[in-house]
C-alpha cells in the first residue's frame, strides 16, 4: 500500500474513534446475544458442562461484523479536521447504499452543524478490501475526494499505536487501465478540552460490580501518582535542557525560551502569603481528617475488645466463677 502524496494534513478527533468502536460493539453484541435458555430451571441447566462444550461447533460461529458510516468535519485549505461521524445503512451482499437514509442524516447534521461537511466514510477491518472501493465511489457525488477511516477492532497487546488508518484514493494506471486505489495518509489526534474530559471519564469507567470503594480509591490514587510522575520527568528533561543551553552545550533557541517563559507565567505564584495560608489550611484539614479516621478505627477496635471481654465475663459468671478457656 503506497503512501499518499496529496499533501493534506489530517486531524482526527477522539469522538470519531469512540463512535466507531461503539458502533462495532453494538452490532457485535446484537449478532451474539447472551443465551437465556438457562435463566430458569430447565433440562439445559442440568446438562453436563462437557456435553455443552462438545455440542458447540467453533466453525459455526459468525464472522466478525463490519460496520459502515460517514465521517464529518471541515477542511480549511490543506488541513482536514474530522470531528464526528454517523452510521450508514449499507448491504455488503448487494453492495447497495441506502441513499434516503444518508440524505436524511446529512440534512439533520446541516441543521445542527451548518459548517460540517461529509468528508468520507469509515469501516472496521484489518485492512482495506477491493470491495470497499464500491462504497468509496458511491460517496464521490457528495465529496469528490472522500477519505476512508479504517479501524481494526482486533486486540493486539504488542501494538502501541492506535489501530486506525486513514486512506485517500488516487488514480493510477495499472496495465494500461486507470484505476482508483487506496493510499495511506498520516494523521494526528486533535482534541479539545471537552473531549479530553470525556475520554478520561470513559477510560476510568468501572463495571457495576467492580471492586470496593478502597479498590477504586487505590486505582484513582495510582492514576494521580502516574500523572505526577510523568509531569516530574518532563520537568526534569526541560530543566536539564535549559542547563545545557546555559552552559553552552547546545545552541540557544529564542523561540524555545519564549515558550518556557510563557509556561512559567501560567503557573501560580507559590511564594505569596495567600498561597501559604491556603496551603496550610488544606494541609491541616487533611491531617485532621486522617487523625479522625485513625481515632474512629481505634474506637472500633476498642469496642470489639470490650464486647469480647463482656462475653468472657458473662461466661465466667454463668459457670459459678470458674474460669473456662475455650
Q: What grid cell was written down for 119?
A: 468528508
- In this prediction, residue 202 carries a pLDDT of 65
- In this prediction, residue 1 carries a pLDDT of 57
Task: Residue 146: name the closest of 125, 167, 115 by CA.
Answer: 167
Owner of C-alpha cell 510522575: 229
- In this prediction, residue 320 carries a pLDDT of 66
Owner of C-alpha cell 492514576: 223
The domain 9-30+63-189 is placed in CATH, from the list 3.40.140.10, 3.40.50.150, 3.40.50.970, 3.40.50.300, at 3.40.140.10
Q: What grid cell was written down for 102?
A: 444518508
Q: For 192-221, b where at least 16 C-beta lie within 10 A, e where not — what string?
A: eeebeeebeeeeeeeeeeeeeeeeeeeeee
Coil, helix or strand at residue 188: strand
- In this prediction, residue 203 carries a pLDDT of 64
Cα 55 to chain centroid distance, Å, stands at: 37
User: What Å distances lie between residue 92 and 65, 95, 238, CA to CA?
Assistant: 11, 5, 53
- In this prediction, residue 326 carries a pLDDT of 45
The enclosing H or E element of 184 equals strand 177-185
- In this prediction, residue 293 carries a pLDDT of 87
Q: Consecutive sets of 10 residues in the chain, 326 residues long: mean pLDDT of each?
A: 70 90 88 53 40 44 78 89 89 82 87 88 87 86 89 79 88 81 88 72 59 66 84 88 88 86 74 78 88 89 89 80 51
Q: What grid cell was written down for 158?
A: 504488542
Distance CA 5, CA 82 (A): 19
Amino acid at each position: 500500500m503506497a503512501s499518499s502524496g496529496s499533501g493534506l494534513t489530517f486531524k482526527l478527533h477522539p469522538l470519531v474513534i469512540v463512535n466507531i468502536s461503539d458502533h462495532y460493539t453494538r452490532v457485535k453484541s446484537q449478532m451474539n446475544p447472551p443465551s437465556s435458555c438457562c435463566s430458569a430451571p430447565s433440562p439445559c441447566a442440568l446438562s453436563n458442562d462437557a456435553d455443552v462444550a462438545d455440542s458447540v461447533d467453533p466453525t459455526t460461529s459468525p464472522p466478525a461484523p463490519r460496520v459502515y458510516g460517514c465521517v464529518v468535519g471541515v477542511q480549511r485549505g490543506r488541513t482536514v479536521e474530522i470531528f464526528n461521524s454517523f452510521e450508514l445503512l449499507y448491504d455488503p451482499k448487494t453492495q447497495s447504499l441506502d441513499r434516503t437514509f444518508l440524505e436524511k442524516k446529512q440534512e439533520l447534521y446541516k441543521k445542527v452543524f451548518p459548517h460540517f461537511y461529509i468528508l468520507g466514510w469509515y469501516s472496521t477491518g484489518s485492512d482495506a478490501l477491493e470491495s470497499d472501493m464500491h462504497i468509496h465511489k458511491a460517496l464521490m457525488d457528495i465529496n469528490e475526494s472522500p477519505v476512508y477511516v479504517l479501524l481494526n477492532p482486533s486486540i493486539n497487546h504488542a501494538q502501541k499505536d492506535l489501530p486506525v488508518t486513514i486512506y485517500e484514493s488516487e488514480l493510477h494506471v495499472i496495465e494500461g487501465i486507470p484505476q482508483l486505489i487506496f493510499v495511506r495518509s498520516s494523521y494526528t489526534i486533535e482534541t479539545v478540552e471537552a473531549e479530553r474530559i470525556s475520554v478520561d471519564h470513559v477510560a476510568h469507567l468501572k463495571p457495576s460490580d467492580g471492586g470496593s470503594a478502597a479498590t477504586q480509591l487505590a486505582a484513582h490514587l495510582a492514576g494521580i501518582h502516574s500523572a505526577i510522575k510523568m509531569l516530574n520527568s518532563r520537568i526534569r528533561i526541560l530543566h536539564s535542557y535549559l542547563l545545557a543551553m546555559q552552559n553552552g552545550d547546545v545552541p540557544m533557541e529564542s523561540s524555545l525560551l519564549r515558550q518556557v517563559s510563557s509556561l512559567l507565567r501560567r503557573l501560580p505564584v507559590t511564594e505569596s502569603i495567600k498561597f501559604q495560608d491556603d496551603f496550610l489550611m488544606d494541609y491541616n484539614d487533611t491531617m485532621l481528617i486522617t487523625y479522625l479516621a485513625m481515632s474512629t478505627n481505634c474506637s472500633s477496635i476498642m469496642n470489639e475488645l470490650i464486647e469480647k471481654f463482656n462475653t468472657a465475663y458473662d461466661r465466667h459468671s454463668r459457670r459459678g466463677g470458674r474460669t473456662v478457656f475455650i
